[in-house]
Amino acid sequence: MEKKYLLAPFAVALGSILVFANAAPKSSTHVNTLEPGSRAPDFDLPGVDGKNHRLSDYDSADILAILFTCNHCPSAQGAESRIKSIVEDYSDKSFQLVAISPNDPESVRLNELGYSVYGDTLEDMKRHAEDNDFNFPFLYDGDTQSVTKAYGATATPHIFLFDKERKLRYVGRIDDSRYGDPETIKSHDAREAIDALLAGKNPSVAKTRAHGCSTKWSYKKNLVTEYNEKFAAKEVTLEEIDESGLKVLRENATDKLRLINFWATWCGPCLAEMPYLVEVGRQFETRGFDMITICTDTVEVKDKAHTLLKRFNVAMPDLTEASVREEGRSTNNYLFPGDTDSLAEAVDPEWQGTMPHTILISAEGEIIYRHSGEVDPVELKTVIVEHLGRWYSPK
């Protein structure tokens, strides 16, 4: 089937999202990044290891790197392998790296998490660090952001290198690549600065521009509230669908990753998992993702099904709605009044009829995940992120 794209609705929706995202109020206090020569501000922050960490804990290191990074940013995630390599390569030197997450997790919108499994809470940091085998301390400053302000960390990642006297000798980017592929690096700025300091020399460059996601300051919480209120006001629709319509959905002749969930009004696990699925649909809207529900009840209970969908606010995020319109459809919530066998043959012949049932269909039309019963949100998000990627790609 030939793909058809109507770019105008998508462009309008994307434009409205970008305008909304840039409408943040200005901070009442300007944050200044530490200049070379400044002394390292003290800190006392909780880490993913369950302990509090202080600047003095690392007095023995001749070179101390303070790295501001986070779970959700694709630039930060792309740099993680390089950070771990730096820690490993200098493990026999008098070098220590300490990472700090600067973000207020309540100031991060769901659709800003499209490259990550987890958000930026301390509990999420623990899971992210374990999943990705962090070999360095990872601390949380999201509650007060006082340390982040003291250092003037404006992006993730943002690295600060201090000498034995804890004077700042290099600040800025880790390297010049925004991507996860080390082959895209041309300038290893942080490594070159570390090598110079360990050799008793001044780094040839003391300051570079940090590139990555902006720090999510607490004063932007109102944007998250407005974002959620806007979504809560969206219309929730439900339409009947036949076998031919189901086959079109199954073919997935789009460039999107498509989730299809079978549910019923009488099914407890179906209703229990619905909030998670709504969250997943919102989280990945910017990545070309489509969350579709198919109710298996009879037409006689269509109104009840619609009422439940409205209570769960199973609406389409802006970019999803635009892409659905490009396909010539008007909803992502359907009711199939036919029998179980017909539904299975049209969408997933391996389905045995257990409710709920969830599948992920790639843009190539391949089922890459299927699960009968209530989904594990972390497992589902992990499959999605592994398929879509955790960082930007130059291709």
122 shares a domain with 39: yes
The percentage of residues in the chain with a pLDDT greater than 70, rounded to a whole number, is: 93
141 shares a domain with 247: no
The amino acid at 271: L
Mean pLDDT, residues 307-329 taken together? 97
Residue 55: inside a domain, yes or no?
Answer: yes
Asked if 136 contacts 64 with a C-beta cutoff of 8 angstroms, the reply is: no
Residue 333: inside a domain, yes or no?
Answer: yes
209 shares a domain with 83: yes
The whole-number pLDDT of residue 30 equals 76
Q: What does the angle CA 108 – CA 285 – CA 131 come to, to the nearest 5 degrees? A: 60
Residue 20: inside a domain, yes or no?
Answer: no
Closest CA relative to residue 230, chosen from 110, 358, 124: 110
242 shares a domain with 110: no
Own/partner long-range contacts of 367-370 (Cβ < 8 Å, ≥24 apart): none
Is 42 exposed, middle or buried (CB count within 10 Å of its CB: 0-12, 13-18, 19+)? exposed
254 shares a domain with 190: no
pLDDT of 26 above 50: no
157 shares a domain with 256: no
326 shares a domain with 258: yes
Mean pLDDT, residues 30-49 taken together? 96
Residue 183: inside a domain, yes or no?
Answer: yes
pLDDT of 4 above 50: no
Which of 161, 186, 216 marks a domain boundary?
A: 216
The whole-number pLDDT of residue 19 equals 37
251 shares a domain with 105: no
| Number of folded domains that form the chain | 2
Closest CA relative to residue 134, chosen from 101, 158, 160: 101
Give CA–CA dist 154/343, Å, rounded: 51
Residue 19: inside a domain, yes or no?
Answer: no
Asked if 115 contacts 72 with a C-beta cutoff of 8 angstroms, the reply is: yes
Give CA–CA dist 367/387, Å, rounded: 12
- The domain of 279 spans 227-388
102 shares a domain with 232: no
Those residues with Cβ within 8 angstroms of residue 263's Cβ, 6 or more apart along the chain or in another chain: 270, 271, 274, 293, 294, 295, 296, 355, 356
List, in sequence order, the alpha helices (H) in the chain. Answer: 7-21, 74-89, 122-131, 146-151, 189-198, 221-232, 243-251, 268-283, 302-311, 318-326, 340-347, 377-388
Residue 112: inside a domain, yes or no?
Answer: yes
177 shares a domain with 244: no
Low-confidence winner among 14-23, 106-115, 223-232, 382-391 (lowest mean pLDDT): 14-23
**Span 329-357, pLDDT tens digits:** 999 999 999 999 999 999 999 999 999 99
Closest CA relative to residue 85, chosen from 14, 32, 135: 135
Which of 216, 236, 255 marks a domain boundary?
A: 216
254 shares a domain with 115: no
Which of 170, 192, 216 marks a domain boundary?
A: 216
Give CA–CA dist 186/179, Å, rounded: 12
Residue 131: inside a domain, yes or no?
Answer: yes
Residue 338: inside a domain, yes or no?
Answer: yes
Mean pLDDT value across the chain: 93
276 shares a domain with 212: no
Give CA–CA dist 391/388, Å, rounded: 9
> What CATH code is carried by the domain that includes residue 285?
3.40.30.10
The number of CA neighbours under 13 Å toward the Cβ of 191 is: 15
Give CA–CA dist 382/395, Å, rounded: 22
Asked if 374 contacts 269 with a C-beta cutoff of 8 angstroms, the reply is: yes
**Span 162-175, pLDDT tens digits:** 999 999 999 999 99
**Span 142-198, pLDDT tens digits:** 999 999 999 999 999 999 999 999 999 999 999 999 888 888 999 999 999 999 999
